[in-house]
Structure 1
């Protein structure tokens, strides 16, 4: 029996358990949309810009821990989505992008929107630098097998996006349905490697003999769904845990052995504990620049004299930025299970570290006290610390927070407690403005019973306000808090500190601070909009927004004061060599 490729694509996705597809129409993919219109198992999430689709699919995949699906048009559709797909790639988020392309019989003739200035029909190559693999489907009969490989690769090993580029005529060709149905016999989950017992014994004994061991948790712990296993290992071995930005939440921030985030936005206490460690167990981390104070040994990590044990699913990350004494390629969920089993066998009684727990508790108390005045300030524009404190006070423990870039990312990493693993979604490696609100859409669709709040700057929200159209039309009840400092605030603070100007970074009209009325814009989209006029109004407004169970935008004017920085970043040396200058306030 034969059927259209587009119809069989939808049926294949249904059988894989795909429930949502994020995308935007174009003349190259409407055959797929027509097939989707007949599906009662897959919901198409319609957006107004492909970057929104990619970020929403990113947020969705972070919550479901399965590959999300993006449907894109060719040319500008594919390039619009590229930023969101690259963001997912650098944060190792599984995603399958299915893109229409020009008809195969018109390659090289410059049909409408073909990308071919260097090679005919080469649009798929645009994604090659950041996807795990890009396929161009040359024949309809190859499409089923390519699809199967695409999902397997997206989720296998170190997860990430893949691209399946499909000439539009292939969507409308007939194909033998047996080519799709035979794939049902193929395993849909590929098992990942674990640690062998001998190596686990060596690692556990090494850590047990260490004087000041530290576990360094990266985003790979969360990608592997290994937070429970990490906590069990930590509780038994009594080893403190520091984390990267992407590793935040791997261990709850109120766990007695959680140190906190390291690097440029880490505090001196946390950075010193890492720098003074004799052994560091790195788990699912790339030891990225901002997390490691540009790898300067005097700030965060110092290898040597510290020694590194590094476990990661990606062998290319082991030894990339620091020398390793023990390196292992393994799935962290399995690896931590083995390490805990070995630890309990070697040391039946849980190892206690009360002195360190007390030191961490004292540090937290001192840090909280140092921020108390700012967290309780009635100043308006509001202090960012007051905004974060009020948000944390209102939200349930398991609420999902999405951030963007600036105070809402760096300040949240440093100061905002996260209590459940996977409840903070942030753009790490690519640090993309515009991620937060769109990712919140995907997160809420994936977890409809949880509160989802996006913390986003006015610069970031201004990237793609059309996210509100999707929230309204699809009835996705997210709350977007715009921390509005009327600037690209972080960059403004950098430029002011190093060059004594804020040129090109502040939003002004006739020399005065300027901001659109985002509450009014929200209302124009059919979304509830609230403009905060005093600090005391913010917390009650947020409570009402959550209780309303509908999309809401809260626009709150904020002081542009920098996030405190105790670590280092090499860009400071480029701007102002030898001067130890960081950010300054532009208020």
Structure 2
């Protein structure tokens, strides 16, 4: 008979998680380095007690971190996992009811970005003895439905542990999903509050050290031969490098492949930095907010080699950027879902292993010298445009591009810039010069407002050796700034740059472009005559707010003071907020792509009718790649 130990379900889960490891390329590390949480009824006496007991007795090494917002702690965890190449993932616990449903947005972000996060939402009583309890949903369709069912569609794996012994298969299934590079995302184990505290005799084997090995699958030889044949016939091939290159740590292999073949490399948000910006084969970001150099090459490309990209609509400029009517695709991706997109020749495998194999297949082949020359000329022209945007002089308030330029020129190559939403991701993809695959941390799969500040904590914890710079507009800041207090309490040094333009600059610009006249996009008093929000500017002081949360604050007026403020922030030893106001109306960098956002087909407004005419013209260029 196997040896057992009597523990509560929560105590058993804590011991189990502390004993899990991941391994890739011979490097072994803790899979679950800790637990983020906010305690309330539902987990304070379950997981809360178990984590306290583990810390006091040393029976399990699973540190606890206190967050200020449940959505924020999931964002922090996702950012950490992204920085750690998905080889580590935090767990997150929240109280019953709103505490747990606050994690839905964070779960959606993690799953959309395909980064692992383990969610442990508290649930109602499995026994249903005291039903209905505080914050319980009474669903007339069934007694087994709770608010945690809202996490089902945004989780890659979801389970509810209604008996202690169910934890064993559920926990193993959860860890399998967390460590699967194809299927990873938010993994949810709902824990009824009574089951958390219920005792059970657990097999000791459950708590032994367990290593989850992350393989590097190699594409099928026949598929490699087909892909090589397609590429050898190409006259103007183009590589689109996505996040899979970064997660596979395949930057060196991509650079060597590009150098050997001469194929230019365009990048997505997730792939930026895999090839440094000034590499002879680098042509910048591609798509709706891409560079002129990358998008011109995309329009001419006869073969596109997608590596680790999921081809979002921003990458394809809503299916308009690849202009050759006979363009063919070769996709190298660990997920068949992405490898098969655009009727591609499929290479299902790890980006690093696949690039090495494909290079062997293409040994001795390269593009024509004239094509290499054209690539370099386009890259030089875009570098000139970038310099102009970085140093544009604009009064009385500076342009956002000048702020980005001053920051880019003031920080080191390994320093990390973080952003997620608003107008800055577009400017960053066009203009930011990244020289390191982890230096550009822009979340653009879910483009979640509120991600920025919370993720700064996760990025800094993932690699304390790097300086971390959070770029956040006032829209995102107002949605979730409270994790500044978490940075301060953990003693983390993060620089937060608050770019205030008193509204939603990105959506304001989009609204104007689509004929909606920036309606509802500025922070204004309500005008008593028109009844609209078009009165005077609201007197919101974000710098004072940041100071109230414990951050050191430096106010900058203009680019010269901004450069000085960044120098002060870099020299500081604690979390520092640099505040600067910019002009909501630009000037903005030149656009070379399109994004499909439908315009009202009929309207009483001249601005909308004009916008629809422009929309219809772009729509004619949209097509499926069949």
Tell me the TM-score normalised to structure 2 length: 0.86
User: What is the alpha-carbon distance in structure 2 between the residues aligned to residue 581 and residue 503 of structure 1?
Assistant: 22
Residues 319-330 of structure 1 aligned to structure 2 (within 5 Å): 319-320=340-341, 322-324=342-344, 326-330=345-349
Aligned to 1:579: 614
Aligned to 1:559: 583
**Are 2:124 and 2:193, in contact at CA under 8 Å, matched by a contact in 1?**
yes
**Are 1:457 and 1:484, in contact at CA under 8 Å, matched by a contact in 2?**
yes
Q: Does 1:543 align with 2:567?
A: yes
Structure 1, unpaired ranges of 5+: 583-587
Cα drift, residue 485 of structure 1: 1.1
Cα drift, residue 522 of structure 1: 1.6
- DSSP 3-state at the match of 1:577: helix
Aligned to 2:143: 120
User: What is the alpha-carbon distance in structure 2 between the residues aligned to residue 581 and residue 448 of structure 1?
Assistant: 49
User: What is the alpha-carbon distance in structure 1 between the residues aligned to residue 471 and residue 246 of structure 2?
Assistant: 21
**Are 2:268 and 2:285, in contact at CA under 8 Å, matched by a contact in 1?**
yes
Aligned to 1:19: 33
User: What is the alpha-carbon distance in structure 2 between the residues aligned to residue 44 and residue 114 of structure 1?
Assistant: 27
Q: Does 1:314 align with 2:335?
A: yes
- DSSP 3-state at the match of 2:613: coil
User: What is the alpha-carbon distance in structure 1 between the residues aligned to residue 382 and residue 225 of structure 2?
Assistant: 37
Structure 2, unpaired ranges of 5+: 21-29, 527-534, 601-607, 618-626
User: What is the alpha-carbon distance in structure 1 between the residues aligned to residue 375 and residue 339 of structure 2?
Assistant: 29
Q: Does 1:70 align with 2:74?
A: no
Residues 123-202 of structure 1 aligned to structure 2 (within 5 Å): 123-158=147-182, 159-178=184-203, 181-182=205-206, 184=208, 187-191=211-215, 193-202=217-226
**Are 1:108 and 1:120, in contact at CA under 8 Å, matched by a contact in 2?**
no
Residue 370 of structure 1, aligned match among 364, 381, 385: 385
Aligned to 1:56: 76
User: What is the alpha-carbon distance in structure 2 between the residues aligned to residue 373 and residue 258 of structure 1?
Assistant: 19
Aligned to 2:356: 337
**Are 1:266 and 1:414, in contact at CA under 8 Å, matched by a contact in 2?**
yes
Cα drift, residue 148 of structure 1: 2.1
- DSSP 3-state at the match of 2:583: coil
Tell me the TM-score normalised to structure 1 length: 0.91
Residue 420 of structure 1, aligned match among 436, 447, 459: 436
- DSSP 3-state at the match of 1:129: helix
User: What is the alpha-carbon distance in structure 2 between the residues aligned to residue 271 and residue 419 of structure 1?
Assistant: 21
Residue 104 of structure 2, aligned match among 59, 64, 82: 82
Aligned to 1:569: 595
- Of 12-21 and 550-559, deviating more is 12-21
User: What is the alpha-carbon distance in structure 2 between the residues aligned to residue 194 and residue 408 of structure 1?
Assistant: 37
CA displacement 1:478-515 (0-9 Å, x = unmatched): 11111111111111112233335322110123722335
Residue 262 of structure 2, aligned match among 218, 232, 238: 238
Query: Pairwise CA RMSD of aligned residues?
Result: 2.4
Aligned to 1:585: none
Aligned to 1:252: 276
Structure 1 residues 357 and 547, CA gap change in structure 2 (3 angstroms): farther
- DSSP 3-state at the match of 1:105: coil
- DSSP 3-state at the match of 1:456: strand
CA displacement 1:15-50 (0-9 Å, x = unmatched): 222223222112111221222233363332211111
CA displacement 1:93-127 (0-9 Å, x = unmatched): 11111111112111793212123434334233212
CA displacement 1:427-451 (0-9 Å, x = unmatched): 2222110111111110001111110
Q: Does 1:98 align with 2:120?
A: yes
**Are 1:400 and 1:453, in contact at CA under 8 Å, matched by a contact in 2?**
yes
User: What is the alpha-carbon distance in structure 2 between the residues aligned to residue 564 and residue 115 of structure 1?
Assistant: 50
**Are 2:284 and 2:293, in contact at CA under 8 Å, matched by a contact in 1?**
no
